[in-house]
Amino acid sequence: MNAIGPIEPGDDTYETRATGTASAGQAWTQPLRSRPLLTRHRRTALALATAAAVGAAGLSLYLTRPRPPEPPPPLYPSQTVAVTYKGEMTRPRAGDRSFSFTVSLSQDSGPPVSVRRITQPTTALSVTAAPHTPFTVKSGTPRTARITMHIRECGNVQRNAGLPFLVVTLRNVRAMQIQSFILGSAYAKDLSAALTAACPPNTDVMSKTP
């Protein structure tokens, strides 16, 4: 027996209505508007996170980059300056109190060097230089100095010094040094001849300067 009655609506056949005063179309489109906004927020957050990661990586690379080595300190002045005997030794007569000769001061490299003083180790002699100290020696520009020996006491003069030398005080940006420069056999020979001429053997022409 077939039953006849009102037809019941099936599942999902009811019409969805909007609540309040909004229409059905507005109720359905409201969730769709929030989806593009949420996507933009995610993209912005992702871009910021990426930028932060790149910035952190760049900072780490900068901090850990290989550093260039520190430049070496300049050499000591005694390592760059040479003093060379150039001759021109005057020949004093017996009783003369002074004689002179020429030296060259040169530098092969490094910062300028100031020549602060030129002396010699014998107490019987004193030294003056022209130009007067201090003067400067620069790389590639040799300086010529005229050295004058003044005899104080003939009795204490070493006429046959084997390795006579000049004592030069040098200064550059790194240090000040007192360096002894041996001027070679030609200087030793000329110096001995000059001292012997000024202070003949077995005499004491100038035992002391007044």
Half-sphere exposure of 56 (CA within 13 A, CB side): 6
What ranges make up the beta strands (E) of the chain? 81-87, 98-107, 113-119, 125-130, 135-137, 143-151, 165-171, 176-182
Query: Residue 157 has what pLDDT?
Result: 82
Q: If you search the block for the tokens 């240090």, which residue do you land on?
A: 175
Contacts of 181 (CB under 8 A, 6+ apart): 82, 83, 165, 166, 167, 168
- Please give the model's pTM, rounded to 2 decimal places: 0.63
Instruction: Decide if 108 is inside a domain.
Output: yes
Q: What is the CATH number of the domain that holds 134?
A: 2.60.40.10
Q: Classify residue 83 by its DSSP letter.
A: E
Instruction: Decide if 92 is inside a domain.
Output: yes
Instruction: Decide if 191 is inside a domain.
Output: yes
Instruction: Decide if 157 is inside a domain.
Output: yes
Q: How many domains does the chain have?
A: 1
Instruction: Decide if 97 is inside a domain.
Output: yes
Query: Residue 45 has what pLDDT?
Result: 72
Instruction: Decide if 152 is inside a domain.
Output: yes
Instruction: Decide if 46 is inside a domain.
Output: no
Instruction: Decide if 2 is inside a domain.
Output: no
What range does the domain containing 144 cover? 77-198
Rounded to whole angstroms, the Cα distance separating 169 from 174 reads 14
Q: What does the pLDDT profile of the chain (210 residues) look like in tens digits?
A: 444 444 455 555 444 444 444 444 444 445 555 566 667 777 777 777 777 666 666 666 666 767 788 888 889 999 999 999 999 999 999 889 999 999 999 999 999 999 999 998 888 899 999 999 999 999 989 999 999 999 988 888 877 766 789 999 999 999 999 999 999 999 999 999 999 999 988 655 444 444
Contacts of 120 (CB under 8 A, 6+ apart): 127, 149, 164, 165, 166, 167
- Which strands form 176-182's sheet, in the order they lie side by side? 135-137, 113-119, 165-171, 176-182
